[in-house]
A and B are shown apart, each in its own frame.
Chain A
């Protein structure tokens, strides 16, 4: 990647790919490969699955690149593809029902989960390490995206296609479950 390429935004690079400069797609892969691998490993809880799944994510992203609206944010779009891909993997493993009703997204949820400080974030992140496998995928994913991928509520809402209030509720409940697990272990 040249200096100019590194300065270009994701959306500018996508535009170049859409115009036929297919090699420039590699810049996007390089930028997001590590993040996608981290997301996959923490959410799917398996390294080999993570590699194959992340490769599929980028393949699907390329296949659908002409459907991407450059006015949108590329990272949200890519994370959305990754979310769908990882959910399919979990459905095949039967960790998630194929036809599931998301009860938490049916009714309005009161979001009393407040923004927190950086110190608290680091402590929570440390707490989550090693215990993510104790969580239901719907809580695990939200915690991974928030604490490890540094996405905000709105971005997580766009990735998972759930209301912002539901994001807050799931973060809160996920943390509570982990705390109970840790307490029980002590």
Chain B
């Protein structure tokens, strides 16, 4: 068989299959819907990644864990131990999935992957930070914890309870000679705090009535503080011994 005959047979073979409807072309609406689905999936993954980033920041802030690195190396180690690593790995997973999805677009694959991955990461972190700065999580967690959204409530309280016992909140009752007396509303007792170190920026000018965050060891004779900084009364809704306001997730004695 000549080359030209082979060629003709090849194209005839395919056209014959088309005529016999053994091969059919997908309709245009299929491609429109496919593009729409891809776009929606991309938006969904971005939303989840942004939610997770903002949630991590919120929970670190609400539990006071965010400030642990400010208490020196010991505080940093506690921070790393308490950090919600599973959520962080989930964020990385979503970033990788977003990168894979984004590779369908020439804007992404025509440049080295590091650029697009960095851009995606930056977008997620920035938007996550913006959402964290809004009262969205505080309002949503409060709503969820009223048991109107049981799944969400357990999500917030699970991470909200992940606070090292070395991190405490108290109200200054008295300050004298380098020691501070604080009142912890839940324990209903006065504890003498002997600070080894007061945060030079955030712990200055402590006076009666101030709320403080204490990072230290609780002992029978008092708290051996590694660090102290000022706080607002309702700044850390998930910290135990919350002075001023009782955390809603705690059972009433």
**Contact surface of A with B, Cβ cutoff 8 Å:** 17, 22-23, 25-26, 29-30, 33-34, 55, 58-59, 62-67, 102, 105-109, 157-158, 161-166
Q: Is the CB of B31 within 8 A of A55?
A: no
Query: Does more than half of chain B's interface fall in helix, strand or loop, or is it mixed?
Result: helix
- In this assembly, does B113 line the interface, its C-beta being within 8 Å of a C-beta of chain A? yes
Minimal Cβ-Cβ distance residue in A for B19: A22
Q: In the complex, what residue of chain B is closest to A1 when comparing beta carbons?
A: B11
B74: Cβ under 8 A from any A Cβ: no
Are B11 and A30 interface neighbours, CB within 8 A? yes
CB <8 Å contact, A29 and B10: yes
A158-B105 Cα distance, complex, nearest whole Å: 11
Of the residues A64, A109, A157, A158, contact of B26 by C-beta under 8 Å: A64
Q: How far is the CA of A105 from the CA of B116 in the complex (A)?
A: 11
B26 proximity list for chain A (CB < 8 A): 63-64, 66-67
B-chain residues with CB within 8 Å of residue A22 when the two chains form the complex: 15, 18-19, 25
Q: How many whole Å from B31's CB to the nearest CB in chain A? A: 4
Interface string of B3-28 (1 = CB under 8 A from A): 00001101111110111000111111
> Which of B7, B25, B109 meets A161, CB within 8 Å?
B109
Q: Give the residue of A62, A108, A164 whose beta carbon is less than 8 angstroms from that of B18.
A: A62
Is A105 a contact partner of B112 (Cβ separation < 8 A)?
A: yes
Residues of the B chain whose Cβ atoms lie less than 8 Å from the Cβ of A58:
14
The complex places the Cα of A106 from the Cα of B109 at a distance, in Å, of: 10
Residues of the B chain whose Cβ atoms lie less than 8 Å from the Cβ of A64: 25-26, 31
Contact call A62/B23, Cβ cutoff below 8 A: yes
CA distance A32 to B103 in the complex (A): 27
> How many inter-chain residue pairs (CB < 8 Å) link A and B?
80
Q: Does B139 contact A (CB under 8 A)?
A: no
The range of chain B's interface size is 20 to 34
Within 8 Å by CB of B109, from A17, A34, A162, lies A162
Q: Are B11 and A26 in contact (CB under 8 A)?
A: yes
Chain B residue contacts of A161, Cβ below 8 A:
103, 109
Q: Determine whether B158 belongs to the interface, using a CB cutoff of 8 Å to chain A.
A: no
Tell me the bound Cα distance from A34 to B10 in angstroms.
10
- Min C-beta distance of B113 to chain A, whole Å: 5
Q: Are A26 and B110 in contact (CB under 8 A)?
A: no
CB closest chain-A residue, reference B28: A66
A163 to B114, CA, bound (A): 12
* Complex contact A30–B7 (CB within 8 A): yes
Q: How far is the CA of A23 from the CA of B16 in the complex (A)?
A: 9
Look across to chain B and name the residue whose beta carbon is closest to the beta carbon of A64: B26
Q: How far is the CB of A30 from chain B (nearest CB, A)?
A: 5
**B107 CB, min distance to chain A CBs, angstroms:** 12
Residue of A nearest to B112 (CB): A108
Instruction: Kindly state the separation between the CA atoms of A22 and B31 in the bound complex, as whole angstroms.
Output: 19
Are B114 and A107 in contact, CB atoms less than 8 angstroms apart? Answer: yes
Q: Tell me the residues in window 146-173 of chain B with beta carbons closer than 8 Å to chain A beta carbons.
A: none
Tell me the nearest residue of chain A to B108, going by C-beta.
Answer: A161
B2 at interface (Cβ–Cβ under 8 A)? Answer: no
The interface residues of chain B lying within 8 Å CB-to-CB of A107 are 112-114
A177 → B minimal CB distance (Å): 22
Nearest-CB residue, chain A, relative to B106: A158
Q: Which of A67, A105, A157 contacts B113 (CB 8 A)?
A: A105
